């Protein structure tokens, strides 16, 4: 009862109700909200603090910036459902909300321009790598087939980049979070999610070696073309396994072993692909049971999809022989 009253009191003010409505559409910073609301930063910050304390909004720090979004029930927010019910009660033809949404579109348009600029400056590099392996559409289709073998409530995409994996699985998941260290890539991902109206998906600035989540949080963790950038892939997979629920799965998409030294020299890859045996060994070290890999043959690069499940009980994963040619972790 006390938590409900706290949420109702926090929302029972005109500006705070406007903020709830705006944050239901996209993630916003204090500066974004100052522009839309036409109020001072200290005043807006005070409203935000009350909404966060009441469990109606969530706050995520990203460098010098804090991002706000509607609270998610999957994260254990106390009044997440109340926030959605209150927003649904706002009349669609409300004059104040209509003006707020017009100003919000201006912010989204700026994000789109930022994303387009970043794409233009990096398009040549990305195209060079894509041209070396199988059609990305085939990789996307195979990834969906492996990831969506069973219903998913919460998904984590490590190294989300442009948010492509979130876009692929969004229709079949209840909630999804993408993390990345590049703020430029996060800006692109936010634009893509906003553009497609994927409000149940979000992105955060985070390190794949130290995930900002509690144990047993996610049903599936994906790493799409990320592991070859890691100097310590076994550590990355162990951290991913830590946040898996019992019965959850990890899905890794990356290159099979190759001789393309240019990828190491010009594209900052740490690994020239991975052996099945190495991935399987790292999985088992994290108490995961490897599944049959999927290979998408290409010339000169072959893409592989490795997956593994965390046992749903205390039974140890079945031992399987390592492949020949394992590398050091």
Same domain? 183 vs 76 = no
Domain count, the chain: 2
Could you tell me if residue 149 is inside a domain? yes
What are 236-268's pLDDT values in tens digits? 999 999 999 999 999 999 999 998 888 887 778
Q: Calculate the CA 129 to chain-centre distance.
A: 23
Same domain? 157 vs 245 = yes
Could you tell me if residue 26 is inside a domain? yes
Same domain? 182 vs 33 = no
**Which pairs with CB-CB distance under 8 Å and at least 24 residues apart come from 26-33?**
26/69, 26/104, 26/107, 26/108, 26/190, 26/194, 26/199, 27/67, 27/68, 27/69, 27/190, 27/202, 28/67, 28/68, 28/69, 28/107, 29/65, 29/66, 29/67, 29/68, 30/66, 30/68, 32/107, 33/68
Same domain? 190 vs 273 = yes
Same domain? 32 vs 147 = no
pLDDT value of position 3: 85
For residue 19, give both structure tokens.
């903020």
pLDDT value of position 47: 96
Q: Which domain holds residue 55?
A: 2-102
Could you tell me if residue 122 is inside a domain? no
Same domain? 295 vs 247 = yes
Mean pLDDT, residues 120-138 taken together: 70
Same domain? 26 vs 140 = no
Q: At 78, which CATH number?
A: 1.10.10.10
Q: Give the model's confidence band at 327: pLDDT under 50 very low, under 70 low, under 90 confident, else very high.
A: very low
63 against 228, higher pLDDT? 228
Per cent of the chain over pLDDT 70 is: 89
| pLDDT(41) > 90 | yes
| pLDDT(298) > 50 | yes
**Which pairs with CB-CB distance under 8 Å and at least 24 residues apart come from 62-66?**
62/183, 62/186, 62/204, 62/205, 63/183, 63/205, 65/29, 66/29, 66/30
């Amino acid at each position: 009862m006390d938590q409900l009253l706290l949420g109702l009191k926090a929302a029972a003010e005109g500006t705070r109700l406007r903020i709830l409505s705006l944050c239901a559409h996209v993630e916003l910073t204090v500066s974004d909200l100052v522009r839309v609301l036409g109020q001072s930063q200290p005043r807006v910050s005070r409203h935000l603090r009350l909404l966060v304390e009441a469990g109606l909004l969530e706050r995520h720090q990203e460098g010098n910036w804090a991002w706000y979004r509607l609270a998610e029930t999957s994260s254990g927010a106390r009044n997440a459902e109340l926030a959605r019910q209150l927003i649904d009660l706002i009349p669609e033809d409300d004059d104040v909300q209509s003006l707020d949404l017009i100003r919000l579109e201006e912010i989204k348009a700026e994000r789109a321009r930022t994303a387009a600029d970043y794409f233009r400056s990096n398009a040549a590099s990305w195209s060079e790598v894509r041209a070396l392996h199988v059609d990305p559409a085939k990789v996307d289709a195979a990834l969906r087939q492996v990831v969506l073998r069973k219903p998913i409530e919460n998904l984590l995409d490590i190294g989300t980049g442009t948010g492509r994996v979130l876009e692929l699985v969004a229709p079949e998941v209840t909630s999804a979070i993408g993390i990345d260290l590049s703020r430029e890539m996060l800006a692109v991902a936010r634009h893509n999610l906003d553009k497609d109206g994927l409000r149940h998906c979000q992105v955060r600035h985070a390190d794949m070696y130290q995930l900002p989540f509690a144990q047993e949080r996610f049903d599936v963790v994906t790493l799409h073309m990320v592991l070859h950038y890691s100097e310590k892939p076994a550590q990355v997979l162990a951290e991913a396994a830590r946040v898996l629920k019992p019965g959850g799965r990890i899905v890794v998409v990356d290159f099979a072993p190759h001789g393309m030294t240019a990828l190491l020299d010009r594209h900052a890859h740490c690994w020239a692909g991975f052996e099945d045996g190495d991935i399987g060994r790292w999985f088992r070290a994290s108490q995961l049971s490897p599944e049959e890999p999927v290979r998408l043959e290409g010339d000169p690069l072959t893409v592989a999809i490795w997956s593994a499940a965390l046992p749903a009980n205390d039974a140890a994963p079945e031992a399987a022989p390592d492949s020949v040619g394992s590398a050091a972790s």
